[in-house]
Chain A
């Protein structure tokens, strides 16, 4: 824990959503999805109501983790792109800035070539944004104040007990 924690504020969250929405339109994809490497969903856009997004996030991260380990076994730094082809839909998984997993789900209305091209462009912008978020988190942590007070700063035993009694 500690320094590696990710804290997302409204402003950056909106920017991320704008970027992935744009990517979805540009790539003609059904769903665009951002997950951190631990399997926590960061943001999603598109036709997500029919999907179990929590499971998708966890499995995508598991998939990336296993593939990363495979790469290291054979002496590669990473496999930067994973592609799964289905009968109707396909999944394109890539890593943004070494930290975040970008998942694009698309069907025959798009193509692997288009998705790859758009993902490449979109990743650069996302990478910059995540860089800023990390810097902001670091800065605030270093200065000892977080822009918003942690909701857990004064958590009590009663609060925690209440969670389990609901």
Chain B
């Protein structure tokens, strides 16, 4: 749910990074945080376990500048990817404006990707969202690994509605901003339709 404040001329939108455990959701946020001008970002908050696994969420507020005199602010969240954190995952999808699905390209994670997408679909449905309607981008992460599944094969099994997709190596920042930009764009276009 976007929040338009005409008094302070601000608009806030929420983008959630979703995907199976260890696919690189937090790495995406970390890279965005590292490469963003200090004046345009807030603190990166990570609620993680001692071993740096996301426990509840990561949160990064990002000021993208102004459109028509309105400050455009995106709140980026990640969910905990591990299967047993489903209750927490569900909570974070509340009021979402756009979703980035980060898939792990390694062959061994193929089933985990598919399972996570179907989990995303059912959790969205519980909040009254439809994956086929909600602004959505697919990121194929870890393309540099030797065990990466060929692109065509991944697209065939993971793409749900002809959404934009990006090949990425989040650790090195490849594809990270392209993914974010594509999702932000869909969110803003959705806003303009209302």
Which residues of A does B touch, CB under 8 Å?
Answer: 1-2, 4-10, 13-14, 36-40, 42, 52, 54-55, 58-59, 62, 65-66, 69, 148, 150-155, 157, 159-160, 162-164, 166
Contacts and interface: CB of A to CB of B under 8 A. Distances in A.
A52 B65 contact: no
Mostly, the B contact residues are: mixed
Interface stretch (B5-13, B102-110, B156-164): B5-13
A155 B67 contact: yes
Contact of B75 (A14, A58, A152): A58
B7 A150 contact: no
A59 B45 CA distance: 9
Given A7-B4, A8-B7, A58 B70 contact: no
Contacts of A37: 94-95
B43 A160 contact: no
A2 B12 CA distance: 15
A4 B1 contact: yes
Interface string B36-59: 000000110101000000001101
Contact of B64 (A5, A9, A153, A164): A164
Contacts of B192: 150, 152-155
Contacts of B171: none
B166 interface: no
B63 to A, nearest CB: 10
B9 to A, nearest CB: 8
Contacts of B1: 1, 4-6, 36, 38
Given A36-B3, A62-B91, A65-B91, 12 more contacts: A1-B129, A4-B1, A5-B2, A9-B7, A58-B75, A59-B45, A66-B88, A69-B90, A151-B4, A152-B191, A155-B67, A163-B184
Contact of B87 (A69, A155, A157): A69
A55 B67 contact: no
Interface of B: 1-8, 11-12, 14, 42-43, 45, 47, 56-57, 59, 61, 64-65, 67-70, 72, 75, 87-88, 90-92, 94-95, 97, 129, 134, 177, 181, 184-185, 188-192, 194
28 contacts: A1-B1, A1-B2, A1-B134, A1-B190, A6-B4, A7-B6, A8-B4, A8-B7, A10-B6, A13-B7, A14-B7, A36-B3, A37-B95, A39-B75, A40-B14, A52-B43, A55-B43, A55-B61, A58-B59, A65-B94, A69-B87, A148-B6, A150-B191, A151-B4, A152-B67, A155-B67, A155-B188, A166-B65
B5 A163 contact: no
Nearest to A41: B12
A9 B6 contact: yes
Contacts of B47: 62
A5 B189 CA distance: 15
The 4 closest A-B pairs by CB, nearest first: A38-B95, A13-B7, A152-B192, A151-B68
